[in-house]
Structure 1
Amino acid sequence: MDRNGLAACAALLAGTLVGTLMGCSPGGAEQPVPVAATASASAPVSEEEVSVDRDDALAKALKPLLPDGDARVSVAVAALDATADGAVYDGASAFDTASIVKVDILAALLLRAQDAGRALTSQERAYATAMIENSDNASATALWDSIGGADGLDAANLTLGLTGTRAGAGGEWGLTQTTAEDQLTLLRAVFSTEGSGLSGASRAYVVGLMGRTAADQRWGVSAAADSVSGCALKNGWLPRTATGLWDINSVGRVTVGGKPYLVSVLSDGNATKEVGVALVERVATAAVSVLTG
Protein backbone atom coordinates (compact mmCIF):
# COMPACT_ATOMS: atom_id res chain seq x y z
CA MET A 1 0.00 0.00 0.00
CA ASP A 2 1.37 3.44 -0.95
CA ARG A 3 1.65 6.49 1.29
CA ASN A 4 -1.72 7.92 0.14
CA GLY A 5 -3.46 4.63 0.93
CA LEU A 6 -1.99 4.52 4.44
CA ALA A 7 -3.17 8.08 5.11
CA ALA A 8 -6.70 7.26 3.97
CA CYS A 9 -6.88 4.23 6.26
CA ALA A 10 -5.61 6.24 9.23
CA ALA A 11 -8.24 8.90 8.64
CA LEU A 12 -10.97 6.28 8.38
CA LEU A 13 -9.90 4.61 11.62
CA ALA A 14 -9.73 7.93 13.45
CA GLY A 15 -13.19 8.87 12.24
CA THR A 16 -14.60 5.54 13.31
CA LEU A 17 -13.09 5.88 16.79
CA VAL A 18 -14.40 9.41 17.29
CA GLY A 19 -17.83 8.49 15.96
CA THR A 20 -18.04 5.52 18.29
CA LEU A 21 -17.13 7.63 21.32
CA MET A 22 -19.75 10.24 20.35
CA GLY A 23 -22.47 7.67 19.80
CA CYS A 24 -22.53 8.18 16.06
CA SER A 25 -21.63 6.05 13.03
CA PRO A 26 -18.75 7.10 10.82
CA GLY A 27 -21.34 8.46 8.43
CA GLY A 28 -22.69 10.82 11.08
CA ALA A 29 -26.03 9.06 11.84
CA GLU A 30 -26.83 8.94 15.58
CA GLN A 31 -26.63 5.52 17.17
CA PRO A 32 -27.97 4.58 20.63
CA VAL A 33 -25.25 4.53 23.28
CA PRO A 34 -25.13 1.04 24.85
CA VAL A 35 -26.65 0.94 28.35
CA ALA A 36 -23.56 -0.78 29.68
CA ALA A 37 -21.51 2.25 28.67
CA THR A 38 -23.49 4.63 30.96
CA ALA A 39 -23.15 4.87 34.72
CA SER A 40 -26.50 5.01 36.58
CA ALA A 41 -27.59 4.92 40.24
CA SER A 42 -30.78 3.36 41.54
CA ALA A 43 -33.54 5.96 41.95
CA PRO A 44 -34.21 6.76 45.62
CA VAL A 45 -37.40 5.32 47.09
CA SER A 46 -39.81 8.06 48.21
CA GLU A 47 -41.59 8.13 51.57
CA GLU A 48 -44.88 7.73 49.68
CA GLU A 49 -43.64 4.51 48.06
CA VAL A 50 -42.46 3.16 51.40
CA SER A 51 -45.83 4.02 52.94
CA VAL A 52 -47.69 2.24 50.14
CA ASP A 53 -45.48 -0.81 50.60
CA ARG A 54 -46.29 -0.88 54.32
CA ASP A 55 -49.99 -0.43 53.63
CA ASP A 56 -49.87 -3.37 51.22
CA ALA A 57 -47.99 -5.46 53.78
CA LEU A 58 -50.59 -4.57 56.41
CA ALA A 59 -53.48 -5.51 54.11
CA LYS A 60 -51.84 -8.88 53.47
CA ALA A 61 -51.21 -9.45 57.17
CA LEU A 62 -54.83 -8.65 58.01
CA LYS A 63 -56.44 -10.69 55.24
CA PRO A 64 -56.65 -13.97 57.19
CA LEU A 65 -57.83 -12.10 60.31
CA LEU A 66 -60.73 -10.18 58.82
CA PRO A 67 -64.14 -11.42 59.88
CA ASP A 68 -66.99 -12.62 57.72
CA GLY A 69 -70.45 -11.11 58.04
CA ASP A 70 -71.26 -7.61 59.24
CA ALA A 71 -68.08 -6.69 61.10
CA ARG A 72 -65.73 -4.00 59.80
CA VAL A 73 -62.31 -3.00 61.04
CA SER A 74 -59.90 -0.14 60.42
CA VAL A 75 -56.39 0.41 61.78
CA ALA A 76 -53.61 3.00 61.72
CA VAL A 77 -50.20 2.47 63.30
CA ALA A 78 -47.00 4.51 63.47
CA ALA A 79 -43.71 4.65 65.31
CA LEU A 80 -43.96 7.49 67.82
CA ASP A 81 -40.60 9.01 66.89
CA ALA A 82 -41.13 9.00 63.09
CA THR A 83 -44.33 10.32 61.51
CA ALA A 84 -43.52 8.69 58.14
CA ASP A 85 -42.96 5.25 59.68
CA GLY A 86 -46.52 3.95 59.66
CA ALA A 87 -49.19 1.88 57.96
CA VAL A 88 -52.94 2.21 57.47
CA TYR A 89 -55.76 -0.15 56.56
CA ASP A 90 -59.08 1.47 55.58
CA GLY A 91 -57.96 4.44 57.64
CA ALA A 92 -60.43 6.98 56.24
CA SER A 93 -63.69 5.07 56.90
CA ALA A 94 -65.95 6.53 59.60
CA PHE A 95 -66.83 4.64 62.80
CA ASP A 96 -68.61 5.50 66.04
CA THR A 97 -66.10 6.42 68.71
CA ALA A 98 -67.92 4.97 71.72
CA SER A 99 -65.76 5.77 74.77
CA ILE A 100 -62.48 6.48 72.99
CA VAL A 101 -63.93 9.97 72.44
CA LYS A 102 -63.22 10.61 76.12
CA VAL A 103 -59.57 11.27 75.26
CA ASP A 104 -60.76 13.86 72.74
CA ILE A 105 -63.10 15.44 75.32
CA LEU A 106 -60.24 15.74 77.79
CA ALA A 107 -57.97 17.26 75.14
CA ALA A 108 -60.68 19.82 74.34
CA LEU A 109 -61.04 20.67 78.04
CA LEU A 110 -57.30 21.17 78.40
CA LEU A 111 -57.15 23.40 75.31
CA ARG A 112 -59.89 25.60 76.79
CA ALA A 113 -58.07 25.80 80.10
CA GLN A 114 -54.82 26.71 78.32
CA ASP A 115 -56.56 29.47 76.37
CA ALA A 116 -57.96 30.84 79.62
CA GLY A 117 -54.54 30.64 81.26
CA ARG A 118 -55.78 28.48 84.12
CA ALA A 119 -55.33 25.02 85.61
CA LEU A 120 -58.14 22.49 85.78
CA THR A 121 -60.35 22.78 88.82
CA SER A 122 -60.42 20.00 91.39
CA GLN A 123 -63.87 19.01 90.12
CA GLU A 124 -62.67 18.87 86.53
CA ARG A 125 -59.75 16.71 87.59
CA ALA A 126 -62.08 14.37 89.43
CA TYR A 127 -64.27 14.07 86.35
CA ALA A 128 -61.25 13.55 84.09
CA THR A 129 -59.82 10.81 86.29
CA ALA A 130 -63.10 8.91 86.43
CA MET A 131 -63.73 9.42 82.71
CA ILE A 132 -60.36 8.06 81.53
CA GLU A 133 -59.33 5.57 84.20
CA ASN A 134 -62.78 4.05 84.75
CA SER A 135 -64.59 5.17 81.57
CA ASP A 136 -67.30 6.81 83.70
CA ASN A 137 -70.07 8.09 81.44
CA ALA A 138 -71.58 10.63 83.86
CA SER A 139 -68.18 12.31 84.18
CA ALA A 140 -67.83 12.35 80.40
CA THR A 141 -71.24 14.04 80.08
CA ALA A 142 -70.26 16.67 82.65
CA LEU A 143 -67.05 17.52 80.77
CA TRP A 144 -68.84 17.38 77.41
CA ASP A 145 -71.09 20.14 78.69
CA SER A 146 -68.06 22.06 80.01
CA ILE A 147 -66.38 22.16 76.59
CA GLY A 148 -69.54 23.37 74.86
CA GLY A 149 -70.80 20.04 73.61
CA ALA A 150 -70.51 19.14 69.92
CA ASP A 151 -69.45 22.64 68.86
CA GLY A 152 -66.70 22.69 71.46
CA LEU A 153 -65.34 19.31 70.41
CA ASP A 154 -65.38 20.20 66.73
CA ALA A 155 -63.55 23.47 67.44
CA ALA A 156 -60.89 21.68 69.49
CA ASN A 157 -60.40 19.12 66.74
CA LEU A 158 -59.60 21.88 64.26
CA THR A 159 -56.77 22.92 66.56
CA LEU A 160 -55.62 19.33 67.01
CA GLY A 161 -55.62 18.64 63.26
CA LEU A 162 -58.45 16.10 63.13
CA THR A 163 -60.18 16.43 59.76
CA GLY A 164 -62.47 13.39 59.62
CA THR A 165 -64.09 13.54 63.07
CA ARG A 166 -67.58 14.95 63.69
CA ALA A 167 -69.03 15.30 67.16
CA GLY A 168 -72.16 13.37 68.04
CA ALA A 169 -75.36 15.40 67.87
CA GLY A 170 -77.92 15.87 70.63
CA GLY A 171 -75.46 15.21 73.44
CA GLU A 172 -74.67 11.71 72.11
CA TRP A 173 -70.91 12.02 72.51
CA GLY A 174 -70.44 8.26 72.08
CA LEU A 175 -71.82 8.54 68.54
CA THR A 176 -69.11 10.94 67.47
CA GLN A 177 -67.84 9.76 64.09
CA THR A 178 -64.10 9.35 63.57
CA THR A 179 -61.49 7.55 61.50
CA ALA A 180 -58.45 5.49 62.41
CA GLU A 181 -56.24 8.10 60.75
CA ASP A 182 -57.79 10.89 62.85
CA GLN A 183 -57.32 8.88 66.01
CA LEU A 184 -53.64 8.48 65.14
CA THR A 185 -53.47 12.27 64.73
CA LEU A 186 -55.02 12.68 68.18
CA LEU A 187 -52.56 10.20 69.68
CA ARG A 188 -49.68 12.16 68.18
CA ALA A 189 -51.09 15.35 69.72
CA VAL A 190 -51.10 13.63 73.11
CA PHE A 191 -47.88 11.60 73.00
CA SER A 192 -45.58 13.56 70.68
CA THR A 193 -43.50 16.54 71.76
CA GLU A 194 -43.93 18.32 68.43
CA GLY A 195 -46.80 19.84 66.49
CA SER A 196 -49.42 19.65 69.23
CA GLY A 197 -51.73 22.39 70.46
CA LEU A 198 -51.49 20.80 73.89
CA SER A 199 -48.82 22.03 76.27
CA GLY A 200 -46.25 19.68 77.75
CA ALA A 201 -48.09 19.69 81.07
CA SER A 202 -51.41 18.92 79.38
CA ARG A 203 -49.91 16.04 77.39
CA ALA A 204 -48.29 14.57 80.48
CA TYR A 205 -51.62 14.76 82.31
CA VAL A 206 -53.51 12.84 79.60
CA VAL A 207 -50.73 10.25 79.23
CA GLY A 208 -50.71 9.69 82.98
CA LEU A 209 -54.44 8.97 83.09
CA MET A 210 -54.29 6.69 80.04
CA GLY A 211 -51.51 4.76 81.74
CA ARG A 212 -53.73 4.06 84.75
CA THR A 213 -56.89 2.70 83.14
CA ALA A 214 -58.72 0.09 85.22
CA ALA A 215 -57.31 -3.43 85.08
CA ASP A 216 -60.43 -4.83 83.39
CA GLN A 217 -60.10 -2.23 80.61
CA ARG A 218 -56.50 -2.89 79.62
CA TRP A 219 -57.36 -4.99 76.60
CA GLY A 220 -57.20 -3.96 72.96
CA VAL A 221 -54.04 -2.42 71.54
CA SER A 222 -52.16 -3.61 74.63
CA ALA A 223 -52.14 -7.09 73.05
CA ALA A 224 -49.42 -5.84 70.69
CA ALA A 225 -47.11 -4.70 73.52
CA ASP A 226 -44.26 -6.49 75.23
CA SER A 227 -45.93 -5.66 78.55
CA VAL A 228 -49.44 -4.45 79.35
CA SER A 229 -48.07 -2.44 82.27
CA GLY A 230 -46.19 -0.15 79.89
CA CYS A 231 -49.24 0.75 77.81
CA ALA A 232 -51.25 3.97 77.86
CA LEU A 233 -54.64 3.43 76.25
CA LYS A 234 -58.37 4.07 76.09
CA ASN A 235 -60.97 1.60 74.89
CA GLY A 236 -64.54 1.99 73.72
CA TRP A 237 -67.37 -0.51 73.56
CA LEU A 238 -70.98 0.12 72.59
CA PRO A 239 -73.86 -2.25 71.79
CA ARG A 240 -76.16 -0.86 69.11
CA THR A 241 -79.81 -1.10 70.06
CA ALA A 242 -81.10 -1.42 66.50
CA THR A 243 -78.88 -4.34 65.51
CA GLY A 244 -77.59 -5.88 68.75
CA LEU A 245 -74.10 -5.66 67.25
CA TRP A 246 -71.09 -4.08 68.99
CA ASP A 247 -68.73 -1.20 68.29
CA ILE A 248 -65.32 -2.09 69.77
CA ASN A 249 -62.43 0.38 69.59
CA SER A 250 -58.98 0.75 71.16
CA VAL A 251 -56.37 3.50 70.89
CA GLY A 252 -53.08 4.12 72.63
CA ARG A 253 -49.32 3.78 72.90
CA VAL A 254 -47.58 0.42 73.17
CA THR A 255 -43.91 -0.48 73.51
CA VAL A 256 -42.28 -3.26 71.52
CA GLY A 257 -38.57 -3.98 71.69
CA GLY A 258 -38.04 -0.80 73.66
CA LYS A 259 -39.63 1.36 70.94
CA PRO A 260 -42.99 3.16 71.33
CA TYR A 261 -45.76 2.82 68.74
CA LEU A 262 -49.13 4.53 68.41
CA VAL A 263 -52.05 2.32 67.41
CA SER A 264 -55.71 3.01 66.69
CA VAL A 265 -58.11 0.19 65.87
CA LEU A 266 -61.81 0.81 65.16
CA SER A 267 -64.46 -1.83 64.51
CA ASP A 268 -68.21 -2.27 64.33
CA GLY A 269 -70.74 -4.97 63.51
CA ASN A 270 -69.25 -7.41 66.03
CA ALA A 271 -71.60 -10.18 67.19
CA THR A 272 -70.53 -9.81 70.84
CA LYS A 273 -68.17 -7.66 72.90
CA GLU A 274 -65.81 -10.62 73.34
CA VAL A 275 -65.67 -11.30 69.61
CA GLY A 276 -64.95 -7.62 68.95
CA VAL A 277 -62.20 -7.43 71.57
CA ALA A 278 -60.51 -10.52 70.10
CA LEU A 279 -60.67 -8.99 66.61
CA VAL A 280 -59.21 -5.66 67.76
CA GLU A 281 -56.36 -7.41 69.58
CA ARG A 282 -55.46 -9.57 66.57
CA VAL A 283 -55.51 -6.55 64.27
CA ALA A 284 -53.41 -4.40 66.64
CA THR A 285 -50.80 -7.14 66.97
CA ALA A 286 -50.60 -7.67 63.21
CA ALA A 287 -50.35 -3.94 62.54
CA VAL A 288 -47.45 -3.38 64.93
CA SER A 289 -45.72 -6.48 63.54
CA VAL A 290 -45.69 -4.89 60.07
CA LEU A 291 -43.48 -2.11 61.46
CA THR A 292 -41.34 -4.24 63.74
CA GLY A 293 -40.73 -6.94 61.15
Structure 2
Amino acid sequence: MPSYPFLTFTFARTRTCALLASAAALVSVGALHPAPAAAAPARAASPRATAAVLDLDAAGRTPVVHGKDTAYDTASIVKVDILAALLLRAQDAGRQLTAAERGHAEPMIERSDNTAANALWREIGQASGLAAANKRLGLTSTTGGTGVKWGLTRTTASDQIRMLRAVFDGDATGRSGATGKSALNAQSRTYIRGLMGKVVPEQTWGVSAVSGSGTPRALKNGWLQRNTSGLWDVNSVGQVTVKGHRCLVAVLSNGSASMSDGISLVERTAREAVA
Protein backbone atom coordinates (compact mmCIF):
# COMPACT_ATOMS: atom_id res chain seq x y z
CA MET A 1 0.00 0.00 0.00
CA PRO A 2 1.43 3.44 -0.87
CA SER A 3 2.20 5.91 1.88
CA TYR A 4 1.78 9.64 1.76
CA PRO A 5 4.10 11.84 3.86
CA PHE A 6 3.20 15.06 5.49
CA LEU A 7 4.55 17.16 8.34
CA THR A 8 3.18 16.69 11.83
CA PHE A 9 3.27 19.80 13.91
CA THR A 10 3.38 20.39 17.65
CA PHE A 11 1.78 23.49 19.09
CA ALA A 12 2.27 25.46 22.31
CA ARG A 13 -1.06 26.61 23.73
CA THR A 14 -0.49 30.32 23.60
CA ARG A 15 -2.69 33.15 22.35
CA THR A 16 -0.97 32.78 18.98
CA CYS A 17 -0.10 29.18 18.05
CA ALA A 18 3.56 28.84 17.07
CA LEU A 19 4.21 26.34 14.31
CA LEU A 20 7.34 24.20 14.39
CA ALA A 21 8.22 21.99 11.44
CA SER A 22 10.73 19.18 11.60
CA ALA A 23 11.92 16.82 8.91
CA ALA A 24 12.03 14.12 11.61
CA ALA A 25 8.27 14.48 12.09
CA LEU A 26 7.30 12.82 8.81
CA VAL A 27 4.67 10.09 9.19
CA SER A 28 2.73 7.79 6.89
CA VAL A 29 -0.83 8.92 6.20
CA GLY A 30 -3.59 7.69 3.93
CA ALA A 31 -4.87 11.22 3.51
CA LEU A 32 -2.60 13.02 1.07
CA HIS A 33 -1.20 12.84 -2.43
CA PRO A 34 2.60 12.38 -2.59
CA ALA A 35 4.40 15.57 -1.59
CA PRO A 36 6.74 17.28 -4.04
CA ALA A 37 10.49 17.13 -3.34
CA ALA A 38 10.46 20.81 -2.36
CA ALA A 39 7.26 22.30 -0.94
CA ALA A 40 5.92 25.10 -3.09
CA PRO A 41 4.95 28.33 -1.31
CA ALA A 42 1.24 28.70 -0.59
CA ARG A 43 -0.73 30.62 -3.17
CA ALA A 44 -2.71 33.68 -2.19
CA ALA A 45 -5.16 32.48 0.46
CA SER A 46 -8.91 32.93 0.25
CA PRO A 47 -9.91 31.13 3.44
CA ARG A 48 -13.48 30.26 4.27
CA ALA A 49 -15.14 28.56 7.22
CA THR A 50 -18.53 27.16 8.22
CA ALA A 51 -19.69 26.49 11.77
CA ALA A 52 -22.66 24.60 13.15
CA VAL A 53 -23.77 24.75 16.79
CA LEU A 54 -26.34 22.74 18.75
CA ASP A 55 -27.13 23.58 22.39
CA LEU A 56 -28.03 20.24 23.97
CA ASP A 57 -29.54 21.95 27.01
CA ALA A 58 -31.86 24.26 25.07
CA ALA A 59 -35.36 23.48 23.86
CA GLY A 60 -34.56 23.42 20.14
CA ARG A 61 -33.01 20.38 18.48
CA THR A 62 -32.00 22.02 15.21
CA PRO A 63 -28.38 23.18 14.85
CA VAL A 64 -27.66 26.76 13.85
CA VAL A 65 -25.33 26.97 10.84
CA HIS A 66 -23.08 29.99 10.29
CA GLY A 67 -21.79 30.29 6.73
CA LYS A 68 -22.53 28.24 3.64
CA ASP A 69 -23.07 24.59 4.59
CA THR A 70 -21.02 23.13 1.75
CA ALA A 71 -18.68 20.12 1.82
CA TYR A 72 -15.10 20.36 3.09
CA ASP A 73 -12.28 17.83 3.38
CA THR A 74 -12.43 16.19 6.79
CA ALA A 75 -8.71 15.59 7.38
CA SER A 76 -8.44 13.83 10.76
CA ILE A 77 -11.89 14.64 12.16
CA VAL A 78 -13.06 11.61 10.15
CA LYS A 79 -11.27 9.46 12.74
CA VAL A 80 -14.30 9.82 15.02
CA ASP A 81 -16.46 8.46 12.21
CA ILE A 82 -14.01 5.61 11.56
CA LEU A 83 -14.14 4.63 15.23
CA ALA A 84 -17.94 4.78 15.24
CA ALA A 85 -18.03 2.47 12.22
CA LEU A 86 -15.65 0.05 13.96
CA LEU A 87 -17.81 0.01 17.10
CA LEU A 88 -20.95 -0.66 15.06
CA ARG A 89 -19.24 -3.68 13.52
CA ALA A 90 -18.34 -4.94 16.99
CA GLN A 91 -21.88 -4.34 18.25
CA ASP A 92 -23.31 -6.29 15.32
CA ALA A 93 -21.02 -9.20 16.15
CA GLY A 94 -22.02 -9.05 19.82
CA ARG A 95 -18.46 -8.49 21.00
CA GLN A 96 -16.14 -5.93 22.54
CA LEU A 97 -13.26 -4.36 20.64
CA THR A 98 -10.20 -6.58 20.57
CA ALA A 99 -6.97 -5.52 22.22
CA ALA A 100 -5.52 -4.85 18.76
CA GLU A 101 -8.50 -2.68 17.80
CA ARG A 102 -8.24 -0.68 21.02
CA GLY A 103 -4.51 -0.39 20.38
CA HIS A 104 -5.34 1.43 17.14
CA ALA A 105 -8.45 3.32 18.27
CA GLU A 106 -6.91 5.02 21.27
CA PRO A 107 -3.86 6.62 19.62
CA MET A 108 -5.97 7.41 16.54
CA ILE A 109 -8.20 9.70 18.63
CA GLU A 110 -5.94 10.80 21.47
CA ARG A 111 -2.84 11.54 19.37
CA SER A 112 -4.36 11.61 15.87
CA ASP A 113 -2.10 8.71 14.87
CA ASN A 114 -2.35 8.16 11.12
CA THR A 115 -0.87 4.67 11.01
CA ALA A 116 -3.60 3.55 13.40
CA ALA A 117 -6.22 5.24 11.22
CA ASN A 118 -4.88 3.46 8.14
CA ALA A 119 -5.36 0.10 9.87
CA LEU A 120 -8.91 0.80 11.04
CA TRP A 121 -9.90 2.36 7.71
CA ARG A 122 -9.01 -0.94 6.08
CA GLU A 123 -10.80 -2.91 8.78
CA ILE A 124 -14.12 -1.07 8.36
CA GLY A 125 -14.03 -1.54 4.58
CA GLN A 126 -12.79 1.94 3.64
CA ALA A 127 -15.35 4.31 2.03
CA SER A 128 -18.07 1.70 1.54
CA GLY A 129 -17.87 0.65 5.17
CA LEU A 130 -17.97 4.27 6.30
CA ALA A 131 -21.03 4.90 4.12
CA ALA A 132 -22.87 1.91 5.61
CA ALA A 133 -22.14 3.12 9.14
CA ASN A 134 -23.11 6.70 8.35
CA LYS A 135 -26.49 5.62 7.03
CA ARG A 136 -27.18 4.08 10.43
CA LEU A 137 -25.79 7.09 12.29
CA GLY A 138 -28.00 9.55 10.39
CA LEU A 139 -25.31 11.32 8.37
CA THR A 140 -26.57 12.47 4.99
CA SER A 141 -23.78 14.57 3.43
CA THR A 142 -20.52 12.70 4.07
CA THR A 143 -18.63 10.82 1.34
CA GLY A 144 -15.59 8.69 2.12
CA GLY A 145 -12.25 9.37 0.46
CA THR A 146 -11.23 7.10 -2.40
CA GLY A 147 -8.95 4.17 -1.74
CA VAL A 148 -6.71 4.74 1.27
CA LYS A 149 -7.29 8.52 1.33
CA TRP A 150 -9.54 8.69 4.37
CA GLY A 151 -8.44 12.29 5.01
CA LEU A 152 -10.09 13.36 1.76
CA THR A 153 -13.51 12.28 3.01
CA ARG A 154 -15.94 15.14 2.35
CA THR A 155 -18.46 16.36 4.91
CA THR A 156 -20.53 19.37 5.98
CA ALA A 157 -20.72 21.17 9.30
CA SER A 158 -24.34 20.12 9.81
CA ASP A 159 -23.42 16.47 9.14
CA GLN A 160 -20.69 16.72 11.74
CA ILE A 161 -23.32 17.84 14.25
CA ARG A 162 -25.24 14.67 13.36
CA MET A 163 -22.08 12.67 14.05
CA LEU A 164 -21.57 14.45 17.38
CA ARG A 165 -25.20 13.88 18.35
CA ALA A 166 -24.77 10.17 17.74
CA VAL A 167 -21.89 10.23 20.24
CA PHE A 168 -22.89 12.83 22.82
CA ASP A 169 -26.67 13.06 22.61
CA GLY A 170 -27.69 9.54 21.70
CA ASP A 171 -30.03 10.91 19.04
CA ALA A 172 -29.48 11.04 15.28
CA THR A 173 -31.50 12.61 12.50
CA GLY A 174 -31.88 10.37 9.48
CA ARG A 175 -32.77 11.10 5.86
CA SER A 176 -36.47 11.13 6.63
CA GLY A 177 -35.95 13.86 9.22
CA ALA A 178 -37.23 11.60 12.01
CA THR A 179 -35.24 11.61 15.21
CA GLY A 180 -34.44 8.40 17.05
CA LYS A 181 -31.81 6.84 19.26
CA SER A 182 -28.25 6.57 17.97
CA ALA A 183 -27.18 3.26 16.45
CA LEU A 184 -24.25 3.41 18.87
CA ASN A 185 -25.09 1.80 22.19
CA ALA A 186 -24.33 3.49 25.51
CA GLN A 187 -21.04 1.64 25.96
CA SER A 188 -19.81 2.66 22.51
CA ARG A 189 -20.80 6.28 23.05
CA THR A 190 -19.03 6.38 26.38
CA TYR A 191 -15.88 4.92 24.84
CA ILE A 192 -15.71 7.54 22.06
CA ARG A 193 -16.45 10.41 24.46
CA GLY A 194 -13.74 9.19 26.79
CA LEU A 195 -11.10 9.17 24.06
CA MET A 196 -12.14 12.61 22.77
CA GLY A 197 -11.75 13.88 26.33
CA LYS A 198 -8.15 12.64 26.48
CA VAL A 199 -6.74 14.30 23.36
CA VAL A 200 -3.12 15.33 23.96
CA PRO A 201 -2.80 18.97 25.11
CA GLU A 202 -1.09 20.22 21.94
CA GLN A 203 -4.15 19.14 19.93
CA THR A 204 -6.83 20.75 22.11
CA TRP A 205 -7.08 23.97 20.12
CA GLY A 206 -10.20 24.67 18.06
CA VAL A 207 -13.75 24.51 19.41
CA SER A 208 -12.37 24.46 22.97
CA ALA A 209 -11.69 28.20 22.50
CA VAL A 210 -15.35 28.97 23.23
CA SER A 211 -15.34 27.45 26.72
CA GLY A 212 -13.75 28.82 29.84
CA SER A 213 -10.56 27.45 31.33
CA GLY A 214 -11.09 24.21 33.20
CA THR A 215 -14.54 23.51 31.76
CA PRO A 216 -15.28 20.03 30.36
CA ARG A 217 -14.54 19.50 26.70
CA ALA A 218 -14.12 16.59 24.31
CA LEU A 219 -12.98 17.18 20.75
CA LYS A 220 -11.16 15.99 17.66
CA ASN A 221 -9.24 18.23 15.29
CA GLY A 222 -8.00 17.76 11.74
CA TRP A 223 -5.39 19.52 9.62
CA LEU A 224 -4.19 18.89 6.10
CA GLN A 225 -2.02 20.83 3.65
CA ARG A 226 -3.12 20.36 0.04
CA ASN A 227 -0.23 19.71 -2.33
CA THR A 228 -1.99 21.28 -5.29
CA SER A 229 -2.23 24.71 -3.66
CA GLY A 230 -0.08 24.62 -0.52
CA LEU A 231 -3.15 25.81 1.42
CA TRP A 232 -4.53 24.26 4.59
CA ASP A 233 -7.76 22.54 5.59
CA VAL A 234 -8.20 22.96 9.36
CA ASN A 235 -11.23 21.58 11.24
CA SER A 236 -12.43 21.08 14.81
CA VAL A 237 -15.46 19.25 16.20
CA GLY A 238 -16.59 18.38 19.70
CA GLN A 239 -18.66 19.07 22.78
CA VAL A 240 -17.85 22.09 24.94
CA THR A 241 -19.47 23.70 27.95
CA VAL A 242 -20.58 27.31 27.53
CA LYS A 243 -22.18 29.12 30.49
CA GLY A 244 -23.24 25.78 31.93
CA HIS A 245 -24.73 24.53 28.65
CA ARG A 246 -23.43 21.51 26.77
CA CYS A 247 -22.90 22.61 23.16
CA LEU A 248 -21.94 20.58 20.12
CA VAL A 249 -19.76 22.67 17.82
CA ALA A 250 -18.34 21.83 14.40
CA VAL A 251 -16.10 24.23 12.47
CA LEU A 252 -14.76 23.33 9.02
CA SER A 253 -12.37 25.52 7.05
CA ASN A 254 -10.10 25.59 4.03
CA GLY A 255 -7.84 27.96 2.13
CA SER A 256 -5.61 29.13 4.98
CA ALA A 257 -2.02 30.03 4.11
CA SER A 258 -0.65 28.20 7.17
CA MET A 259 -1.86 25.82 9.82
CA SER A 260 -1.61 28.52 12.48
CA ASP A 261 -3.77 30.81 10.32
CA GLY A 262 -6.27 27.98 9.98
CA ILE A 263 -6.39 27.46 13.74
CA SER A 264 -6.99 31.16 14.29
CA LEU A 265 -9.80 31.11 11.70
CA VAL A 266 -11.44 28.06 13.30
CA GLU A 267 -11.27 29.49 16.81
CA ARG A 268 -12.56 32.90 15.71
CA THR A 269 -15.41 31.28 13.77
CA ALA A 270 -16.32 29.08 16.75
CA ARG A 271 -16.47 32.06 19.10
CA GLU A 272 -18.62 34.06 16.69
CA ALA A 273 -20.98 31.13 16.10
CA VAL A 274 -21.49 30.40 19.80
CA ALA A 275 -21.90 34.08 20.65
Residue 158 (str. 1) matches residue 144 (str. 2): no
Q: TM-score, structure 1 length as denominator?
A: 0.73
Task: Name the residue aligned to 1:73.
Answer: 49
Aligned length: 222
SS at match of 2:61: coil
Contact 1:210 1:234 in 2 (8 A): yes
1:198 paired with 2:175, answer no
Asked whether the equivalents of residues 56 and 247 of structure 2 are also in contact (C-alpha less than 8 Å), the reply is: yes
2:76 aligns to what?
A: 99
Q: Which runs of 5+ in 1 are unaligned?
A: 1-67
Amino acid at match of 2:131: D
Query: Which protein, 1 or 2, shows the higher relative CO under an 8 Å CA cutoff with sep ≥ 6?
Result: 2
TM alignment of 1:84-95, pairs within 5 A: 84=61, 86-90=63-67, 92-95=69-72
Partners of 1:107 and 1:256 in 2: how far apart? 26
Aligned to 2:247: 261
Equivalent in the alignment of 2:257: 271
Which residue does the alignment assign to 1:128?
A: 105
Larger Rg, first or second structure (1 or 2): 1
Q: Runs of 4+ in structure 1 displaced over 4 angstroms? A: none
Residues 1:186 and 2:163 aligned together: yes
The whole-number CA distance in structure 1 between the counterparts of 2:86 and 2:213 is 30
More helix by share: 1
What root-mean-square deviation, in Å, do the aligned CA atoms of Structure 1 and Structure 2 show?
Answer: 1.4
1:201 and 1:95 map into 2 onto residues whose CA distance is: 30
Selected match of 1:110 from 82, 87, 106:
87
Which is strand-richer, 1 or 2? Answer: 2
Deviation (angstroms), 1:91: 5.1
Contact 1:76 1:91 in 2 (8 A): no
- Return the match for 1:281 from 267, 270, 274: 267
Tell me, in whole angstroms, the C-alpha distance in 1 between the residues paired with 2:90 and 2:52. Answer: 30
Contact 1:253 1:260 in 2 (8 A): yes
Mapped to 2, the partners of 1:137 and 1:193 lie a distance apart of 27
| CA–CA distance in structure 2, aligned partners of residues 236 and 228 of structure 1 | 23
**Per-residue deviation, 1:227:** 2.8
- Corresponding residue number in structure 1 for 2:217: 231
Distance of aligned partners of 1:104 and 1:228 in 2 relative to their CA distance in 1, 3 Å threshold? farther
